[in-house]
Every structure is written in structure tokens, then in C-alpha cells.
Amino acid sequence: MAETLLAFEPSLLSGVLIKRYKRFLADVRLDDGREMTVHCPNTGSMTGCAAPGSRVWVRLESKVGRKLPGSWELVETQPGQLACIHSARANKVVAAALARGLIAPLAGYATARPEVRLPGGQSRFDFLLSDPDECVVEVKSVTLVVGEGVGAFPDAVSLRGQKHLRELTELAAKGRRACLLFCVMHSGIERVRAASEIDPEYAQLLRQAVDQGVEVIAWAVTPTPEGFQVGGQVPVIV
């Protein structure tokens, strides 16, 4: 059985999505009948993950100064298929998986520093692995399904994603180990590709990155209402 990481605390409550709007807001009806507006922690288009009437799970939290009662975390996109729409969860799951050596191509490093800006660089990268040597890692959360078992990134034109690819390519061209890690946060995705129909520039940059030696890998994460299970590597179609 896959190891469970990052259990939800407090436990999630289930309900139905009424609508998502203004990017960061979602109205939900919980199973106990309460209707409320919660935070939608995702800036993307969320294609296929925001259909009204979908089964959703939210995390309620009372904090001083918090305007909304909680955040939307998971959605059932098809019977038995769950996706995590909280995009920041990807980095936390990857951090925990790196610490336990669960992502085989990136195992063996003694240190994983998050949010690192390299000397002379413009962007912050998600992780800098070191000892022995170094590896720069940028993480992208994948939830868009474009066909039977096929996931794609990005779900909207991503200038930030393009910038990261250019900088990873420059690093690889200079002989440094650079890795783009697609964190697959959807239980129905079995392989990953660039969403060329949405962001053709990103797809072109990805091909160039691979040609220059950037390692592109995808790793499966299965979201559940209890937490996240880290699975194995899934193919990337370049």
C-alpha cells in the first residue's frame, strides 16, 4: 500500500459545489445542509474540476482575521476519481516525499531547500537538492484531463511556467542538473503531456528543455479525503 503523507487536519467535510466564481471563491452546500462561501486556492481555469453539482471536500478552519470559513480541497471529477484543486499542496507533498526518498529519480540528496533563488537568477525555484552535488527542481501540479488517462499542463497560458522552463534550460545548458517535476494530483491521470492546444509556447519550450538536458518527470499522487498517497512515476509524452 502507498504511504500516506500530509493527513488533513482538521478532517475534511463533504458536500456539493454550487459554483466557483471570481477565481478565488466557491459556494458549496455541505452534507449537513449548510451553505457557505469558501476560498478556492487555485488561480487556473480548473477545466473539468469545477462543474456545478460535483462532489467536493472542504477544510473548515477558524482563525482570527480569516474572512472565509475554510478552503476547498478536493473534487470528484468522475466516479471514483479525485483531484486536489489546492495547488499549493503539491509542493508540500513533494517536500514530504523528498524527505522520505519516495521519488526515486530525486532520492539520495541530504538536503532539500525550498524556495531558492540562485545567484544571478530571476526566479525562485521550488527546491534545491544538495549533497552530493546539486539539483534544481521546479514542481507543477497537474489536474487537467484531456483524454482517457492523459493529463496536461498548463490548464491556461502560463507565462510564469514559460519563464521557469527557459531558466531550467539555461541551467542545464551550463551543465547543472535541472528537473521539472509534474506532480499529478488527479487519480485518473496515467500519463502527462504539455497542453499544446492551450499554451503552444510552453509545449515548444518543454521540447527545447528536454533537448538541452532538463529532466522531465511526472509522479503520481493520489488525493483522498484523509490525505495524500505518493505513488510511482508516470510517463511524460514530450
pLDDT in tens, 54-63: 999 999 987 7
The rounded distance, in Å, linking the Cα atoms of 154 and 39 is 21
Residue 3 pLDDT greater than 70, yes or no: no
Q: What percent of the chain has pLDDT over 90?
A: 87
Q: CA nearest 5: which of 222, 232, 234, 187? A: 222
Put residue 130 in one of left, alpha, beta given phi > 0 → left and psi -120 to 50 → alpha.
beta
What's the rounded mean pLDDT across residues 141-158?
Answer: 95
Q: CA nearest 75: which of 3, 145, 130? A: 145
pLDDT band at 6 (very low <50, low <70, confident <90, very high): confident
Q: What percent of the chain has pLDDT over 70?
A: 99
**pLDDT for the residue numbered 65:** 77
Peptide bond connecting 154 to the previous residue in cis, omega within 30 degrees of 0: yes
**pLDDT for the residue numbered 216:** 98
* Domains assigned to the chain: 4-79 (2.40.50.580), 89-237 (3.40.1350.60)
Residue 118 pLDDT greater than 90, yes or no: no
What's the rounded mean pLDDT across residues 35-48?
Answer: 94
pLDDT band at 66 (very low <50, low <70, confident <90, very high): confident
Peptide bond connecting 105 to the previous residue in cis, omega within 30 degrees of 0: no
Residue 1 pLDDT greater than 70, yes or no: no
- The mean pLDDT value of the chain amounts to 94
Spatial contact of 150 and 189, defined as CB atoms under 8 Å apart: yes
